[in-house]
Every structure is written in C-alpha cells, then in structure tokens.
C-alpha cells in the first residue's frame, strides 16, 4: 500500500465511511501491529470514537454533569481506593497514555507510544523510552517535564508513602532523564508488560513541585491531596469528599479545541438505580457510572428515549472472598492479621462447599442479564488468558456431602459444627439492591447445607473508603466472607493478578493499602507470578496466568460470581464518551461533547 492509499483510508475514518476497527484490522493484515495502527490514526489527528469533523467547531458547551453513586473521597491518584477515587482524580490528572476500548495504548502526555519499531521498547524487555509531549503545563502554569515523571516513580516506590500504586513501579530499577522531555525506564528484569508504569488509571502523574515536600511519611499531609493541580482538561474548583467534585475548562489544555464543556460537576452519593433514573428518565445528568441495576429496570428506563445503556467488555469480576485470617481476634490493634488463621475457612471442605452454594445461574438470569455472565474464573479477559479448565456447579446436596464427610455435623439447630466451632459466618458487601439480592440467594442455599450466614450491608461510601480508621472497609476485611467487584484496569493481567501475592497482603503496616485482601499466601502462586513477570514469550506467559487463575479457584480463595461488563448510563445528546473497559471512564474526557 502506498502513501496515497494509506492517506485515503485515514480520510475515510475521519469522514465516518470506515470504522476505526476496520482500519486497524486492515493494517494488521498488512503486517503492522494494532498499537502502531492506532498510533497512525492518533498522529493524523483522528480521535478514537468520532471523526474529527463531527466535533464542535469551538469550545464551550455549558456544564457537563456526571453522577458517581460511590463518591470520591480524595483526589490523589496514588492513594485512590477503588474506581471512584481514580476517576475523581482523572478529571484533573493524566497518565502518559490511556487504554482505548480495544485495549490499545493512546498517547496522552506522551508524544508517541513506544514500540520495538520506533526504538522505544528494548528487544530484551529491560527498558522502555518515553518521549513526552512538549508544551504541556500544569494548571498553575509550571511546565510538565521529565522530572515530574521521575518524581512519581520515587513517590510511589517509597514504602513510607504507602501508595496504592506501588505495585505499578515495583519492577523499576531506575528512571533516567534523557532530556527535558524524554525518560528511560530501566527494569530490574525483562518486563513483558512494560506499559504498566505511568499509564491508565493507576499511572496518573502528579506535579513534583507541589508534592516533593510531602513524600514518604508526610504524604498524607499534602494540601494538594484535596486540591489537585494537574495537566488535564479541567482545572480544580471545589471538592467536598463523599459528595461533589467541580472543575472548570482548562483554557491552556494541550489538545487543540479541547475540552468542549465550560465546566464539569461530578456528583457523588445515592445509589445505582437513582443514578440510572437521573440520566435515562429525568435527564438531570449527562452520564452515570457503574449501573449495577437489574437489567429489566435499565431496559424499562431506556424505553423513555432520553438515554441509553453503554456496555463495554473488560476483566471486571464480582466475586466472594474467603478470609484466610481471623477477623474476630485482635493482634496488636489489627484484626484479620496475617499472624492469625481463620477458625474454619482454612478447612478446604468448607470452602469447597461454599463454592457449590453460589447459584450463579440464578444471579445472572434473575438480576444481571446482559450486564454480566456467570463464570468459574477470576481472570476472564482478554480471552487468551481465560482458563478452559475450571467449571462451576450449584449443588446443595454435594455441599452437604462434602461437609458431612469432613466431620461437620448438624446440631439440633440445623447448623453444622466441628470441634466446638459452628459454621456461622458474617457475609459483607456494600449496600446495593442487586448485591443484597445476591446475598439472600446465597444465604438461603447455605442454610440448606447447615451453614448460617449473617448478612452485613455497609454503605458504599464507608465500604470503599480510604479512611484507615474505618473498620468497615473492604480492605480491612473484618468479616468471614465478603463480595465486591474488582476491576482489571488494563488489558494485561499482571497488576490484576498480583492481588494474590504474598508481598501484597493488606495490613496495618501498609495502612491496608496492600492489594491481597484475602491474605492468602502460596509459595506456588508466588513462583508462577514471578516467572510471568519476566516471561517475554506471550504464549508461555498466558499459560502461567491461567495456572494462577486455576490455583485461586481450586483452592477456593475466591468464588467468582459474575464476569461483569462495564455499564454506564449515557444521555442521547452526550457524544464522544467511548467508554473503555480497560481504563477510567474519563480516559477520553477531553473529547466529550453535547450534541444539539
């Protein structure tokens, strides 16, 4: 294909005559990689979702109103506990690159995406060189440079900072400054997922000049934790933790003619059904996040004609965790301490029985419908990482049989017991109608097997809080079992699967920021993970992650309930959202606009 033909194809994408996906598939057929094809479009100024000519001719579109029913509690992406804080931060902060809906990297603060073709990615997997975009300024006018990126590595890598992003930089040996707008990341070992640091939700860059005096033990004292100064399309106006985030258009944004709204209001609180109604029924808001609402309700609201449900695929998994430690014993001011063992959940028979008492089919069909699917796997996407080895079943009789054979006998009250310990457990999750329905389905089945379950429902604002003094957070895990959705965040499972490694155990020492919430420890799992971290052969690496998934399922560390889609409510007038299941809902925020 010559240059004229290539330019013609790009023009077709711009004009809407050819889909972006078809263009990428054509380029792949000619021997190019999908990321390189994506970069060609980006370099030509073609955005992901819309042809360039369909965007408004100028800035200024009034106020963008979005609704996150789990409200942001802080605005430092390095301390983000869950999607709400990452998304709240993403209004103001940006990463070097973002993942689009197809899982391809798109440059944001980077001038281009590194590759082996352009010399950015070393063939031995030990380094990657990023060229940064020039002319980018922080909201206070200071220039964005390589020093900022290097500082973010130092900040997150310092154990005293207790950053939730420490896992994204742990494999870095050094970040070198090549020049004012070029950095070279040197890894300790060959690193197949070289794109993990400084990209997507967990890669948002904060300014060195405002945080350098608040690194390490002083990290929580930084005023900018609550008053962000970023490079993003909107500048900070106001923040009320647990309630509202406000921003105004950044007049000096580094993308021409962006953003398209004068201001943004990110409202928090309430619940998913009311959020859905606020977009799909009343039209009060333009966009609502995480529609964890029964599908039949969403379909009824869509029929009103004001908005639609946007469904994107990702690797998100609604799952039940089995606590490996004792949530009822206090050790040095810490329950669920790694120094303890759970009184009965360490018995494999109990966990195997629990796995058989989760009626995934009913949960899928009666509650979630098109919004998810029943699965036996914790790791479900991308497809090359999905195990074909695991199966799930709902079988109360078999659960009874397993418990009986393991010596758990039913007492006069119908509850099984062994060695003086009764199978009575507390099952917690956030307050949400669909989750409470799921709890009830499981509780009823468990009762038939002689297992008594006490349901605990915690307000989402508390359950997903970053407050280290709150005893009801999911990271503390002060109950026997709990349920929530963990998001994958990137089309590579490395960060996603490190939540079962020994080094990530959540504890008082790391302010409960470790990602291993179950506190499960397995030498075999750790060995597989360490091997995958340096395996450059894509096929062998996928096989390693499949084995890791199988270990967590065979040992019933977690019980997958539903492979969840990323579901949003979007006004029919709001365009350019192009939700990605692999990144923040705001990955493309600068290009959102209102039609008509």
* pLDDT tens digits along 366-381: 999 889 999 999 999 9
Residue 596 has pLDDT above 90, yes or no: no
Q: What percent of the chain is predicted at pLDDT more than 70?
A: 91
Predicted pLDDT at 102: 86
Indicate whether 198 pLDDT > 90. yes
CA distance 572 to 594: 9
Mean pLDDT for 434-441 is: 96
Cα–Cα distance between 366 and 362 in angstroms, integer?
5
Closest CA to 375 of 252, 386, 366: 386
Question: Does the pLDDT of residue 26 top 90, yes or no?
Answer: no
User: Tens digits of per-residue pLDDT, 500-511?
Assistant: 999 999 999 998
The band of 56, judged by pLDDT with boundaries at 50, 70 and 90, is confident
State the pLDDT at residue 50: 41
Q: What is the pLDDT of residue 57?
A: 64
Whether residue 48 is predicted with pLDDT greater than 60 in this model: the reply is: no
Residue 17 has pLDDT above 90, yes or no: no
- For residue 465, the model assigns a pLDDT of 86
- Residue 459 Ramachandran class (φ > 0 left, ψ -120 to 50 alpha, else beta): beta
Q: Are 482 and 321 in contact (CB under 8 A)?
A: yes
pLDDT exceeds cutoff 80 at 307: yes
Distance CA 86, CA 580 (A): 14
Over residues 432-457, the mean pLDDT reads 96
Averaged pLDDT of the chain: 92
* Residue 53 pLDDT class (50, 70, 90 cuts): very low
Give the model's pLDDT for residue 30: 66
Q: What pLDDT score does 52 carry?
A: 39
Q: How far is CA 339 from the centre of its chain?
A: 29
368 alpha-carbon distance from chain centroid = 20
Q: Does residue 512 contact residue 476 with C-beta atoms inside 8 Å?
A: yes
For 421-557, where are the E strands, in sequence order?
421-422, 424-430, 452-458, 481-486
**Tokens, residue 290:** 């995480």
CATH code of 317-564, in short, is 3.10.105.10
3-state class of 521 per DSSP?
coil
Residues 6+ apart with CB under 8 A from 157: 166, 169, 170, 172
pLDDT computed for residue 58 by the predictor: 64
Domain-wise residue ranges, the chain: 1-46, 317-564
More confident residue, 57 or 515: 515
């Amino acid at each position: 294909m010559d240059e004229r033909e290539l330019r013609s194809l790009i023009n077709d994408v711009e004009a809407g005559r050819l889909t972006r996906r078809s263009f990428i598939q054509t380029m792949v057929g000619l021997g190019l990689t999908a990321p390189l094809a994506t970069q060609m479009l980006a370099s030509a100024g073609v955005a992901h979702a819309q042809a360039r000519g369909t965007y408004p001719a100028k800035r200024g579109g009034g106020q963008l109103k979005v609704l996150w029913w789990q409200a942001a509690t802080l605005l430092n992406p390095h301390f983000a506990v869950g999607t709400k804080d990452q998304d709240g931060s993403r209004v103001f902060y940006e990463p070097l690159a973002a993942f689009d809906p197809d899982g391809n990297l798109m440059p944001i603060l980077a001038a281009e995406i590194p590759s082996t073709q352009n010399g950015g990615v070393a063939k031995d997997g030990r380094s990657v060189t990023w060229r940064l975009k020039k002319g980018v300024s922080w909201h206070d006018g200071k220039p964005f440079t390589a020093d900022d990126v290097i500082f973010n590595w130092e900040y997150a890598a310092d154990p005293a900072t207790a950053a939730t992003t420490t896992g994204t930089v742990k494999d870095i040996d050094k970040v070198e400054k090549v020049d004012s707008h070029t950095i070279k990341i040197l890894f300790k070992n060959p690193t197949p997922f070289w794109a993990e640091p400084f990209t997507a939700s967990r890669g948002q860059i904060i300014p060195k000049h405002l945080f350098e005096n608040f690194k390490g033990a002083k990290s929580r004292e930084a005023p900018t934790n609550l008053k962000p100064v970023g490079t993003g399309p909107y500048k900070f106006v106001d923040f009320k933790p647990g309630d509202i985030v406000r921003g105004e258009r950044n007049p000096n944004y580094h993308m021409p003619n962006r953003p398209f709204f004068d201001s943004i209001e990110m409202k928090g609180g309430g619940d998913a059904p009311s959020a859905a109604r606020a977009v799909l029924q009343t039209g009060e808001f333009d966009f609502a996040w995480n529609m964890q609402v029964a599908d039949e309700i969403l379909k009824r609201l869509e029929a009103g004609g004001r908005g639609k449900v946007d469904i994107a695929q990702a690797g998100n998994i609604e799952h039940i965790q089995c606590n490996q430690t004792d949530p009822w014993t206090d050790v040095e001011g810490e329950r669920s301490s790694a120094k303890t063992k759970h009184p009965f959940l360490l018995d494999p028979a109990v966990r195997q029985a629990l796995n058989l008492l989760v009626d995934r089919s009913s949960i899928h069909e009666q509650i979630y419908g098109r919004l998810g699917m029943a699965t036996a796997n914790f790791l479900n996407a991308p497809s090359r990482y999905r195990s074909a080895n695991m199966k799930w079943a709902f079988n109360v009789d078999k659960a009874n049989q397993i418990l009986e054979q393991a010596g758990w006998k039913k007492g006069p009250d119908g509850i099984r017991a062994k060695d003086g310990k009764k199978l009575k457990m507390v099952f917690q999750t956030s307050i949400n109608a669909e989750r409470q329905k799921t709890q009830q389905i499981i509780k009823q089945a468990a009762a038939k097997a002689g297992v008594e379950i006490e349901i605990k429902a915690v307000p989402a604002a508390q359950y997903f809080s970053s407050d280290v003094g709150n005893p009801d957070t999911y990271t503390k895990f002060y109950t026997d079992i709990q349920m929530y959705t963990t998001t994958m965040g990137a089309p590579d499972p490395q960060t996603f699967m490190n939540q079962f490694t020994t080094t990530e155990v959540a504890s008082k020492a790391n302010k409960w920021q470790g990602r291993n919430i179950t506190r499960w420890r397995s030498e075999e799992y750790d060995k597989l993970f360490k091997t995958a971290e340096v395996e450059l052969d894509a096929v062998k690496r996928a096989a390693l992650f499949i084995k890791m998934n199988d270990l967590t399922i065979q040992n019933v560390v977690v019980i997958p309930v539903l492979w969840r889609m990323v579901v949003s409510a979007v006004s029919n007038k709001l365009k350019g959202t192009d939700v990605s299941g692999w990144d923040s809902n705001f990955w493309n925020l600068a290009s959102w606009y209102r039609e008509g």
